[in-house]
Amino acid sequence: MTNHVHLLVSADSTTAPGALMKALGQRYVQYVNRTYLRSGTLWEGRYRSCPVDQEAYLLACQRYIELNPVRAAMVRHPADYPWSSYRANAEGEASTLIQAHGLYSALGQDAEQRQAAYRALFRHELEPGLVDEIRRATNGNFVLGDERFAREIEAVVGRRAVPGKSGRPRKCAEPPSGALLDG
């Protein structure tokens, strides 16, 4: 995109995506600073991410990313955007950067079937509620998945993986019988 990039990354460890982004940011900023004789930071803010429940959301996230230039009115079709993985997934264009995910591979028996099934996913736009759900999860660094998935991620990362309840906790209306309150 003109002011941001989307990556859908499968990793073997919870720290790998952050380490990737740190290394990429450091190397790219050094390259830009040297090339354009500048100094300082390049990125406006920290990267945003969310763990994705693969079974329920992986292909939806791929569609979200590949339709983003269409939603932004930059192109009419995802195949028209030069930085999209759509041509690799839907048309079989060779790419050294893209490795097929198992769920993509399960779309068909051979490359032709997988590509046809993938193209079929793009016959309709994503539902607005799903677009909002993906954005909320990514912007808040929360999980994109159901409650079971959220609990699994919370156990692995050791922190809350879903938004908390807003506002103060409610106090009991009446103290339990026999209890004293300081007033």
Find where tokens 């399960």 sit: 106
- φ, ψ of residue 144 to 5 degrees: the values are -110, 95
To the nearest 10°, report the CA torsion of 124, 125, 130, 133: 160
Q: How many CA atoms lie within 13 A of 8 on its CB side?
A: 23
Question: Which residues 6+ apart lie within 8 Å of 119 measured at CB?
Answer: 90
Say if residues 91 and 79 touch (Cβ distance below 8 Å): yes
Cα separation of the two ends of the chain: 59
Q: How many CA atoms lie within 13 A of 1 on its CB side?
A: 15
Query: What span, in angstroms and rounded, lies between the C-alpha atoms of 105 and 90?
Result: 12
pLDDT, tens digit only, all 183 positions of the chain: 888 889 999 888 878 988 988 898 889 889 999 999 999 888 777 788 899 999 899 999 999 999 999 999 999 999 999 999 999 999 999 999 999 999 999 999 999 999 999 999 999 989 999 999 999 999 999 999 999 999 999 998 888 889 887 777 677 655 555 554 444
Distances (CA, A) of 107 to 33, 56, 58, 117, 143: 43, 14, 13, 6, 25
- φ, ψ of residue 73 to 5 degrees: the values are 60, 30
Domain ranges of the chain: 13-47, 49-157
Query: What span, in angstroms and rounded, lies between the C-alpha atoms of 76 and 70?
Result: 6
Query: What span, in angstroms and rounded, lies between the C-alpha atoms of 17 and 10?
Result: 8
pTM score of the predicted model: 0.81
Query: What span, in angstroms and rounded, lies between the C-alpha atoms of 65 and 122?
Result: 12
Say if residues 168 and 98 touch (Cβ distance below 8 Å): no
